[in-house]
Each structure stands twice: as C-alpha cells, then as structure tokens.
C-alpha cells in the first residue's frame, strides 16, 4: 500500500475543520512540524463559503454565525485579524418574531433585552446577570472537558445547575411571558435535542451570555475568511496544508509523533479498520448520531420584508413562535418525524456585509432540524415559515440552493446522515464523547479532535485545542 508522501512532519492532522486547524495551530505553537490533510478541494470543513446560487452571491455552506468563535478561550487568543479576519457585528444578535407582528430581541445590552419583556426582566437577570460580567472565567471552564477541576467552581455551579436542565423546563419555570419563553426556546433548540431533554438548556445559556458579552458576528466576506485566517496563521507557524486528499486508512500515513483525526466515530472505524478492537470498538459502533439539518440558501432581490421591522437589525432570526410550537417541532425531529411547521434558524449576513451580494441584492441562510437521514423535501415548509413572519418573502427569491441530509454529508463526511453536531448531544454523549477516553484512542499516538469530542459542536476550536494538549502531554 503506497504511503502518502508528506514533508517531514511531527504531526499529521486529518481534516481541516475548525477543530483540525485549531489542533494544528496548538501543536505548531509548541514547535511541532505539522501537516493538515483535507479530503475536500477547499479547506475549512463546516467553516466555508461559496457561490451556491448565482455569481456574486457568497453563501456560508455550513456555519455562519460565530458567538462561540469569538468567545472561544483558544481562538480568541490567536491573531486572526492580522491574518485577514474581520468580524461583522449586526446591531442586534437575534430577533424572534411572533404572529402578532412583534419580536423579542437579544441585544448586546441586558437592559435593552429585558425591555422587550419587562415582567420577566428580574428572572432574566437572575438567570444570567451575574454570569455575563464573568464570561471569560465561565467559558474557560465551560469549554474544558469533564475530569479537569474547574478554576471557578462556584461560578460553574451557578451555571451548571441551570445548564443541566431541560430547555423547556427552564423556560417555563423562569419566565411567564410568551416572549421570553419563545426566545429561550429558540436558543435551546441549538442543542439539537428535544427541548424536554436534560441539558438542552445549556447551549441557550451559553449563546445568551455570549450575546451580552461580545455579540454574534459573521466573518466579513463569508465564513471562508475565518478558515483563511486560521490557515494563514498556521502557515506563518510553519504548518503545511494539503487539500483534495481523502485519508482512507491509517496504514497510508507515514510515521509521525501524533496523528489527530478531525473525523467522527463512524469514519474513524473505517480509517482504523482492524486496528480497533474490543470494548472501544463497540463503544464507537454504539455511538449515536442525532437529528439532522435541512438547509436552504437564497439569493434575494431585496431585504426580507419582515412584518416586525426590528428583525432587520438582527443578524440571526429564529422562526418558530411560541415555546410550545418550537418544542413540538424539535420533539418530532427527535422522534423521526419532520414537522410541517419546523423551527427555522435564519441568518441575513448581507444586510451588514455588502461584500456578500451584488449591490442592492441579498443573501439569506436557513436550516431546520429533521430526523437523522431524512430523505423528504423541506423547502416549502421552511419557506412557509419565513413567509409567515415576512409576507412577500417568496417574491424576492432570485435563486435557491437546497441541501438535505444526504447533500450535506456528500460535501463533508463528518455530517453523518445530516447530523451537524458530530453525534447526539444527550447527557452521556455531551460529556463522554465519543468514549470515556475522550481524545485518546487505544491506538498509540492516534487522537480524535473533532466535534465528536468535548466540548462538542460549534465553531470554537476547543476540541482541537484539547486534543493537541493531550498529544503534547503524551510525549
């Protein structure tokens, strides 16, 4: 079997998603010679952009909104602005419209946010008020794998007691207004769990605190610019990057001090072949993938005609109305049934970044959750939800790109049957991803570094960072 011909290297990183690049950067910072090998012709995995619809319209193929990238304890230390990254901050992080033509808004300021639901203001402040000013300390612990002692145990306990709860339970016990409950439900739906499941509140708290701490930015020019900045910084540290090479077997890789795999358990089983045996193999075989996503991108002739005009101030808009409706949509997706009125995560980057579309024109990005491997068509259901809160939206569509679970997986094998989280985020897999050994595998000098390891999905690079630390500590 021919070995992959690489420059002399200490570490090989398979996959150039944000975790692969973060791992490579951390090792290069420690003085290691690193080579990243990427299957796709372009770098970035879930952080990429392309003209998916018409020439001149730049769409984010997967991720688009980066509160966790901005607040990441590792990525925030890197000189990415010097390497071409410019964050774009919409004036409002998130808008959540309702059928009566009003909207709840998640502002940078807590005061402005609670002005939208004054009778729940005190509860909102109780929930996150103390945590916002201490977000750096909190996130340093939140983005650290289980097993390491938190640096700020009391802060973590205050966060953890609510984070461990179900999104629905916390929304109902903390708030009384439909506005605050609906807003919180949309945030909790980022967990990709039914909102009745324990720990589905965690991501809602993280995203809320991040909005008040720093904001929910886009990357100017498209997500590829974030990947470009990470790759450029890696090169400045001496790292090498190879694209268009799918690593099919560990046997094809030359010897190295460490191999870090930015892949999920299913691909690891394939790449490792017979080398993986026993209980570890069985754990990976039993690893659960979660609900899938169904994604649309549009080229638009004008801004979205929101009934609540304040939605035009927000980078992200959550379409699903009340807590009950959002819970229903996510419960169905979790149980293997697509919702006719799906909860839709919608982003409108070109309103704040004109470089994304020809003058006067716009882009929009949206997805909803569907059952793992769903083969139906959600185009009409998603567009109906936009139309519900923005009558006339359909008339503004110039072109659309549609990616169901299979299409998402074709462009990135880590999106197994459309699961964008690298595996279900139920309580066990939230902490012990994909097995209790986390980044370590039974294979000498082979580590996992993808979002199938803690702290899980999202563009924060912390899975890669901790995998690299584990490799450095294993020397």
Binding site for ligand FAD (CB under 6 A): 14-20, 37-40, 45-47, 62-66, 68, 246-247, 262-263, 267, 271, 293, 295, 367, 408, 412-415, 420, 422, 450-451, 457-459, 463
Shorter beta-carbon distance to ligand FAD: residue 401 or 414: 414
- Comparison of 17 and 194: residue with beta carbon closer to ligand FAD: 17
Residue 262 Cβ vs ligand FAD, minimum distance, rounded to whole Å: 5
Query: Judged by CB, which is closer to ligand FAD: 270, or 302?
Result: 270
Spell 387-411 as b/e; 16+ CB within 10 A means b. bbbbeebeebbeebbebbbeebbeb
Report the nearest approach of ligand FAD to the CB of residue 157 (Å).
26
Distance in Å, CB of 205 to ligand FAD, minimum: 16
- Nearer to ligand FAD by C-beta: 20 or 371? 20
Q: What is the Cα–Cα distance from 385 to 404, expressed in whole angstroms?
A: 17
Residue 298 CB, shortest distance to ligand FAD, in Å, is 14
Of 232 and 243, nearer to ligand FAD (C-beta) is: 243
Look up residue 146 and give its two tokens. Answer: 């289980």
Task: For the CB of residue 401, give the shortest distance to ligand FAD in the complex, in Å.
Answer: 12
The distance of closest approach from Cβ of residue 113 to ligand FAD in the complex, given in angstroms and rounded to an integer, is: 20
Are 347 and 64 spatial neighbours (Cβ–Cβ below 8 Å)? yes
Closest CA to 80 of 209, 223, 215: 223
Q: Minimum distance between the CB of residue 45 and ligand FAD, rounded to whole angstroms? A: 2
SS (H, E, C) the chain: CCCCCCCCCCEEEECCCHHHHHHHHHHHHCCCCEEEECCCCCCCCCCCEECCCCCCCCEECCCCCCHHHHHCCCHHHCCCHHHCCCEECCCEEEEEECCCCCEEEECCCHHHHHCCCHHHHHHHHHHHCCCCCCHHHHHHHHCCCCCCCCCCHHHHHHHHHHHCCCHHHHHHHHCCCHHHHHHHHHHHHHHCCCCCCCCCCHHHHHHHHHHHHCCCCEECCCCHHHHHHHHHHHHHCCCEEECCCCCCCHHHCCCCCEEEECCCHHHHHHHHHHHCCHHHHHHHHHCCCCCEEEEEEEEECCCCCCCCHHHHHEEEEEECCCHHHHHHHHHHHHCCCCCCCCCEEEECHHHCCHHHCCCCCEEEEEEEEECCCCCCCCHHHHHHHHHHHCCCHHHHEEEEEEECHHHHHHHCCCCHHHCCCCCCCCHHHHHCCCCCCCCECCCCCEEECCCCCCCCCCCCCHHHHHHHHHHHHCC
Please identify, using beta-carbon distances, which residue of 263 and 276 lies nearer to ligand FAD.
263
* Shortest Å, Cβ 339 to ligand FAD: 17
Q: How far is the CB of 140 from ligand FAD (least distance, A)?
A: 18
Nearest-angstrom CA–CA distance, 297 and 55: 14
For helices 462-473 and 18-29, the axis angle rounded to 10 degrees is 40
Of the pair 7, 278, the CB lying nearest ligand FAD is at: 7
Nearer to ligand FAD by C-beta: 46 or 145? 46
Looking at the Cβ atoms of 361 and 369, the one nearer to ligand FAD is 369
94 versus 247: smaller Cβ distance to ligand FAD:
247
Indicate the residue among 70 and 156 with the shorter CB distance to ligand FAD: 70
Q: Tell me how far, at minimum, the Cβ of 280 lies from ligand FAD, in Å.
A: 19
Q: For the CB of residue 412, give the shortest distance to ligand FAD in the complex, in Å.
A: 5
368 is written with which tokens?
């909803």
Of residues 174 and 382, the one with the C-beta less far from ligand FAD: 382
CB of 26 within 8 A of CB of 464?
A: yes
The CA–CA distances, whole Å, from 34 to 7, 78, 107 equal: 9, 17, 41
Q: How far is the CB of 313 from ligand FAD (least distance, A)?
A: 19
């Amino acid at each position: 079997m021919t070995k992959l011909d690489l420059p002399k290297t200490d570490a090989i990183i398979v996959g150039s998603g944000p975790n692969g690049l973060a791992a490579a950067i951390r090792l290069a910072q420690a003085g290691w010679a690193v080579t990243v090998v990427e299957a796709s012709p372009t770098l970035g995995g879930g952080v990429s952009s392309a003209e998916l619809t018409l020439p001149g319209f730049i769409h984010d193929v997967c991720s688009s909104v980066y509160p966790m990238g901005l607040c990441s304890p590792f990525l925030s230390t890197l000189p990415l602005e010097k390497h071409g990254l410019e964050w774009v901050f919409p004036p409002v992080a998130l808008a959540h419209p309702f059928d009566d033509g009003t909207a709840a808004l998640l502002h940078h300021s807590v005061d402005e946010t609670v002005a939208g639901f004054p009778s729940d203001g005190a509860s909102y402040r109780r929930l996150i008020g103390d945590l916002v000013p201490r977000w750096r300390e909190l996130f340093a612990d939140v983005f650290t794998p289980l097993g390491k002692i938190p640096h700020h145990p009391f802060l973590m306990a205050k966060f953890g007691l609510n984070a461990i709860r179900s999104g629905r339970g916390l929304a109902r016990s903390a708030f009384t207004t439909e506005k605050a409950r609906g807003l919180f439900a949309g945030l909790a739906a980022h967990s990709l769990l039914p909102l009745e499941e324990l720990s589905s509140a965690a991501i809602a708290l993280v995203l809320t605190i991040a909005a008040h701490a720093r904001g929910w930015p886009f990357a100017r020019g498209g997500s590829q610019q974030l990947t470009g900045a990470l790759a450029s910084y890696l090169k400045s540290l001496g790292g090498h990057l190879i694209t268009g090479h799918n690593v099919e077997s560990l046997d094809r890789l030359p010897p190295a001090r460490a191999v870090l795999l930015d892949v999920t358990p299913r691909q690891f089983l394939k790449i490792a072949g017979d080398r993986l045996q026993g209980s570890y193999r069985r754990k990976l075989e039993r690893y659960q993938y979660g609900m899938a996503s169904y994604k649309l991108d549009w080229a638009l002739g004008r801004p979205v005609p929101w009934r609540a005009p304040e939605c035009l101030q927000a980078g992200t808009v959550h379409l699903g109305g009340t807590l009950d409706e959002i819970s229903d949509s996510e419960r169905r997706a979790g149980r293997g049934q697509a919702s006719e009125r799906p909860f839709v995560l919608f982003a409108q980057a070109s309103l704040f970044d004109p470089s994304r579309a020809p003058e006067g024109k716009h882009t929009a990005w949206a997805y909803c959750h569907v059952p793992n491997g769903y083969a139906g068509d959600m185009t009409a259901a998603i567009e109906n939800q936009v139309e519900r809160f923005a009558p006339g939206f359909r008339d503004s569509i110039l072109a659309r790109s549609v990616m169901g679970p299979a299409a998402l997986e074709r462009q990135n094998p880590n999106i197994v049957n459309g699961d964008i989280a690298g595996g279900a985020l139920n309580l066990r897999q939230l902490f012990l991803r994909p097995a209790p050994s986390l980044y370590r595998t039974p294979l000498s000098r082979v580590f996992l570094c993808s979002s199938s390891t803690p702290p899980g999905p999202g563009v924060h690079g912390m899975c890669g960072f901790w995998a690299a630390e584990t490799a450095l500590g294993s020397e």
